[in-house]
Chain A
Amino acid sequence: MRKQASALAVATLVAIGAIGVSACGSDDKSSSGGGSTSGGEAKKGGSIRIGSVLPDSYDPVLLQTIQGNQALQLVYTGLVTYKHVEGAAGAELIPGLAEALPTISADRKTYTFKLRPNLKYSVGSAVKASDFEHTIKRLLFLGGPFSSFSTVIKGAVEYQKAEKADADISGITADDATGEIKVELTAPDGKFLFAIALVSAAPTPAAKSPFKRSNSMPGLGPYTIDIKNPTREFVLTKTPGFDIPGIANGNIDTITVVKETVTKMTQDVIDNKLDYMTEDPTGGLLPEVKAKYSNRFRMDPNPPNTYWFFMNETLKPFDKLEARQAVNYAIDSRALQRIFGGRLQPSCNFLPPAYARIGYKKIDPCPYGDPAGPPNLAKARELVEKSGYKGMSVTVWGNTKDPRPAIVDYLRDTLNEIGFKAKTKLLDQQVYFGTIGTKKTNAQIGFTDWYQDFPHPADFIEPNLSAKAVESTPTFNFQFKSNPKIDAGLKKLGGEADPATVADEWAELDRAIIEDANGAVYGNELASSFFSERMDFENCSGVHPVYRSDWSLFCLK
């Protein structure tokens, strides 16, 4: 998914070492992503203030952004969830409201869960098995952003077509007496369990969850939410008596989350008026923060992500392989690193290094030259000539969120260097992806990124590069075309629940993407964590591979 505009981070951070090694820019204070799992003696209690661009939705079913996920994952827990520890281990699936991870049938089409007994929501009502089915119905009926992951459930598509809220989904059977929930799929889907762990599938009491956007549904989690002002402030308070094994109770008593501009947030954390910010410090203040406040600042390649430039393969000039390869040869990740303020790790792969166990294999040698080294402008110019498109007008698209305008300007300048006539066009972030995802916009080339929804290579490849993706409008496949190797690969590997078993084949797909230049990858972004002096930075940094930061792990000094 996209960062912020549509990104829920649910990821497996696996090979920390690989990331640490590939980090360049030695004067950068980027830790190797590992995060201490010391646990240690986390001080309990206290209250903190967090600066955030607030959730796009307080209704978990309609949520899209990381900021929303960070807050709501503390309030709503799914049947399964992610381990609440820092570092790589945090990406493991553990039972949430269910007693144990589900039993999966031999044909991999039926998942059986059993609810823990005697669970009660924060308001005191009992958690029922049928609440889960109700939640999935809401998800499908309201057309929430992640509803497409649930359409693989038997009867889900028919339910959506029927457009009746209380119709039944044949694939889900829930027995309130025994607490058993059985979900049948139309086809094996390796990603399905991850989809259940998303906040959008977390059960809420059916009686209090109407079939329209609701901001105040009770949930069951370490914290409860009190929305003071939906666009300005909300407060999370520890749920008394919350006790589910595996899910941290939370150290801080009260978390107040307020909205501010990112610049002001940075200034406030520096001045200790805020204790944490969910965003990265803006370009201007980042060097200052790195230099003066390194004792409470760190960077991690987290959650796993990839940054690249899409190239529309149905339009000139990027319908020709030579033109696309030229762009790949011409891009200099070191220059882009500077634009990112050092927060970029150059890469030649489409999959992020964090996927080392499940499909990432560093493409070495990179067909376009060392990603951390100089570009090959001569070859790029040669290829542009060969493509016959020299001198062609190209519009580079980007959005206004910092530092994308600078990124896009760099690409414009580079394209001009190699023989095109480039100019830029910027849109507001809210409308950007929808606009370029519409075919008639005719966007030739531009900025894009992807933050994982869950730890699976298909999550990166399918929405961005498959034929299936092109069918939806708007689409995320800004190439508007798909590589047949990719489609074949997705078909073959998609059903496998554990991508680690077919990691090599995923790596092959990754390589095919790069060799066929279905995009111009330049690197992976490092996310920052910046704390006030009150926070215990050493023991409780809360860096989490899925939620980016798990606030229940925060603690004060």
Chain B
Amino acid sequence: MRRADGFSIVELLVASAVTLAVVAGISALLNPVQAAFQSQTEAADVEQRLRVAAQMLEADIAGAGSGPDRGVRAGPLGQTFPPILPFRRGSGADDPPATAFADRITLVSVPPAAPSTTVSGNGPPQDSDWLGVDAQPECPVSDPLCLFTADSAAVVFDDSANVDLIAITAVSSENPTPMLQHANQHLTFAAYRPSAAAVTGVSTVSYAIDHQASQLVVSSGLGAPDAPAADNVVALSFAYLVDPQPPNLTTYGPRPPPIDVQGPSLEWPPGENCAFAVVAGAHVPRLPVLGAGSTLLPMALAQFTDGPWCPDSSSTNRWDADLLRVRAVVVTLRVQAAIVALRGPAGLLFSVAGTGRDSNRWVPDQEVSFQVTPRNLNLERVP
């Protein structure tokens, strides 16, 4: 026989108490588990973005300044012009001359086995679209510029502090003077010395931060548009460590003309250039000694916009002579969580405020600061 009197009140109470206990336990777990599920994946993502961005910057800065491995100007680029610039040059969004920014950097390097030759004296005038160059020694007579290609970039420089970055638009191998076309980009200097000025394949990379989109942007290659390199980067800054010793005749820096000989720029008196002055009939460094020994010292950004200007203060391609002293870069990088709900109010933890109220769910910004010492800028140093 079935009983038909249902549950007693005590049974009902006990059953509801047990059910409640179980449900309470589950729901108490649910919230933190969901929070962890959301925030931990994002935290790992933040870490990953930071690592990728840091490694990109580190690799490019460490390689800056590598020069041609052969030819008249073989050796590190830092001997004659600065391969690390605190502004954008050669990118699709160049900065005007005589500026410096803490959150922008341009890195110039010559890749391994880049094509290399010299300016020829037989070519058309240097202020035209075509640059006459000498045949590459390693190329066959029928194809004297075998390693140069259209749509590549080249750097033209000699030891007089003049330097030009050109995008090659066509290669002419016609004898007697092979030529490289760089249409619509006139050289800023039109008196490169034949056989002494190098023309070498080059790689330029410039980094900047797009504050609007919170992106680290990179432009690799001459005139290349910005491409995002890492998302949710909220701060980027570069600080510079410099050689306390100024360029002198036996170390680095553009070579001055001989005493009493007028150099290519009329702004400097005979025998002088942007890095060297003449005192009592002898070349002396124009830049001051900043300290004893060889320990690198920090230099403020303002020092990179106050001259002396190389090659002179009227060149549109000018750079501050102090940039020649740069030996190491300190990079600071800050990355935030992509999801607004995982960021709290702006302050110490967050650069850009989010909507998250529950601090259990916050994924704070990650910031790193690290030094990079470009190998090619530290080969030769004199205390």
On whether the two chains bind one another, the answer is no
